[in-house]
Amino acid sequence: MDALREEKLAEDTLVFSRSDNGPWLMQGRAGGSAGMLRDGKGSTWEGGMREPGIAWWPGKIKAGEVCRTLASSMDLFTTSLDLAGAPIPGRPGHRWRRYPPAAFWDGRRGARRLLLLPGTRLFAARQGRFKAHYFTQTGYSQPKPDAHDPPLLFDLGADPGESFDVASSHPEILAEIAAAVERHKATVMPATNQLEAIVPAE
């Protein structure tokens, strides 16, 4: 940060710092804590997926401003290309129209959904304040995930710790999320696992 100021590049540089998928609970106190959020790294509970992020850009981002808009780390790639005036390939993420904090997504406030896929299986889907869980897994310590049919549903606005399943009182939300999931699946083409092509699975 000091070097950016000394080289007079601060006003032309977006600096973004973020965490990495929640605390590593297997390491005990040394692995960190997700506070009131459930579980940690390796799970799709909020403690494993919700991360803090800090954006710094003098003259572009107001100091002390807080943004609670749903975002994804993939958006950093797309936003960086957009800022540089480079073409954006495929659909890797959203552009931050009003650069961080991300108050609007392509001009549609609150229209964002996130699908959580560790690997190739859809575990959970987030729509606004609601989150549906199709599979749940306790970090890396649970060898096989638990399936949920119907899915679990949590109102993260009132229950960020994901303690109270509200699926029975919000069937319309589950239906909306299910329809969005099916639309997404219709656009996905299976791809070869590039890592396994280099390092065969044992």
pLDDT of amino acid 162: 98
24 located within any domain: yes
Largest CA distance in the chain: 58
For residue 150, whether the previous peptide bond is cis, meaning omega lies within 30 degrees of 0, is: yes
98 located within any domain: yes
Q: Per residue of the chain (202 residues), give pLDDT as tens.
A: 999 999 999 999 989 898 888 899 888 889 999 999 999 998 999 999 988 888 888 888 888 888 777 778 888 888 888 888 888 887 656 776 654 444 433 334 445 678 888 777 899 999 889 999 999 998 877 888 999 999 999 999 999 999 999 999 999 999 999 999 999 888 887 777 777 777 665 5
200 located within any domain: no
The model's pTM is 0.80
199 located within any domain: no
> How buried is residue 163: exposed, middle or buried, by Cβ count under 10 Å (0-12/13-18/19+)?
exposed
Give per-residue burial for 76-112: e unless 16+ CB within 10 Å, then b. bebbbbbeeeeeeeeeebbbbeebbbbeebeeeeeeb
202 located within any domain: no
CATH number of the domain encompassing residue 36: 3.30.1120.10
Which secondary structure element, helix H or strand E, spans residue 49, and what is its range? Answer: helix 46-49
Parent domain of 48? 2-190
pLDDT of amino acid 65: 80
Number of domains forming the structure of the chain: 1
φ, ψ dihedrals at 119, nearest 5°? 90, -130
186 located within any domain: yes
196 located within any domain: no
Look at the chain and count its residues.
202
Q: Which parts of 77-145 are beta strand (E)?
A: 113-116, 124-127, 130-136
